[in-house]
């Protein structure tokens, strides 16, 4: 099974809920997609840029199972998100400091050039230049999947739209799917996984629904990262030949377990 190279951010997150859940934690789509894929049995590496504050992550207990061969250090602070949710787990407001992730596009393009036969997952989120990265992936006929982040999804979907029919799989939530349907003929997309919180997730193949799964009921502790967990799990199972129905069932179960578990703390640097 080939490695999954996940292009995206790893961040310091602060999540807030009206009932006082949340707190400071590790975040970032590149981290959670890679962790989920690894847990589901597929080797994965975050293609990311880390600042001085998170440069110790590759040696941190619990994270050392990842393949860290594709990260780049940079002088400065890593990406930071302040994420406010309502009681239903819907994102209300987000504040972002991208920090050293401003260098992510350059790093991603260099990585793609060095590994043209790899399989990629692209987290289409600011500040990544999705036109440049997806354009290069299509030019070299690389296999790639993509996901989006609702606050920037309208802009990112529009920017990515010329290359989306070449993607193996797209991951969107219900609101993002409506934006996608306005930007692209969904009948040209080979596989679209649509999530809707605790409601049924579905898979569309060339515009036709081919699978559905309702996540197991769980009391949500932390929802940020659930979609990334679903994506990494789904991709790992599909890479091993699982049907869409089986992969979606495994992915929704993994996302349900994720939201019920404590958040991932920011590990302290090792001393000495």
Q: Please report the pLDDT score of residue 1 as a whole number.
A: 63
User: Using DSSP, how many helices (H) and how many strands (E) does the chain show?
Assistant: 7, 14
> Per-residue pLDDT tens for 216-259?
887 777 777 899 999 999 999 999 999 999 999 999 999 999 88
Q: With pLDDT > 70 as the criterion, what percentage of the chain qualifies?
A: 99
Q: Please report the pLDDT score of residue 271 as a whole number.
A: 59
Does the pLDDT at position 47 exceed 90? yes
Q: pTM (2 decimals)?
A: 0.94
> Per-residue pLDDT tens for 125-159?
999 999 999 999 999 999 999 999 988 999 999 99
Which residue reads 């920090």 in tokens? Answer: 99
For 244, the 3-state DSSP assignment is helix
Q: Residue range 178-200: average pLDDT?
A: 95
Domain boundaries, the chain: 4-9+31-49+106-260
Any idea of the CA torsion for 98, 100, 106, 109, to the nearest 10 degrees?
-70
Q: Please report the pLDDT score of residue 23 as a whole number.
A: 83
CATH fold of 4-9+31-49+106-260 reads 3.40.1190
Q: Which residues contact 122 (CB under 8 A, 6 or more apart)?
A: 7, 8, 128, 130, 133, 134, 137, 144, 145, 146, 147
């Amino acid at each position: 099974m080939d490695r999954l190279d996940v292009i995206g951010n790893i961040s310091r997150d602060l999540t807030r809920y009206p009932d006082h859940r949340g707190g400071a934690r590790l975040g970032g789509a590149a981290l959670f997609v890679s962790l989920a894929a690894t847990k589901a049995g597929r080797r994965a590496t975050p293609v990311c840029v880390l600042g001085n504050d998170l440069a110790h992550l590759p040696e941190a207990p619990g994270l050392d199972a990842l393949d860290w061969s594709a990260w780049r250090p940079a002088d400065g602070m890593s990406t930071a998100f302040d994420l406010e949710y309502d009681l239903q787990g819907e994102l209300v407001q987000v504040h972002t400091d991208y920090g050293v992730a401003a260098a992510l596009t350059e790093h991603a393009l260099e990585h793609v050039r060095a590994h043209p036969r790899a399989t990629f997952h692209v987290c289409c989120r600011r500040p990544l230049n999705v036109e440049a990265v997806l354009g290069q992936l299509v030019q070299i006929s690389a296999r790639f999947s993509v996901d989006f982040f609702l606050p920037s999804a309208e802009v990112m979907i529009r920017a990515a739209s010329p290359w989306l029919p070449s993607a193996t799989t797209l991951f969107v939530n219900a609101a993002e799917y409506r934006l996608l349907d306005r930007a692209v003929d969904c009948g040209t997309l080979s596989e679209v996984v649509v999530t809707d919180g605790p409601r049924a997730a579905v898979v569309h193949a060339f515009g036709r629904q081919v699978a559905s799964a309702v996540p197991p009921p769980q009391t949500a502790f932390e929802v940020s990262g659930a979609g990334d967990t679903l994506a990494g799990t789904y991709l790992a199972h599909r890479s091993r030949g699982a049907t869409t129905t089986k992969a979606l069932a495994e992915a929704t179960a993994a996302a349900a377990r994720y939201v019920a578990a404590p958040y991932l703390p920011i590990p302290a640097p090792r001393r000495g």
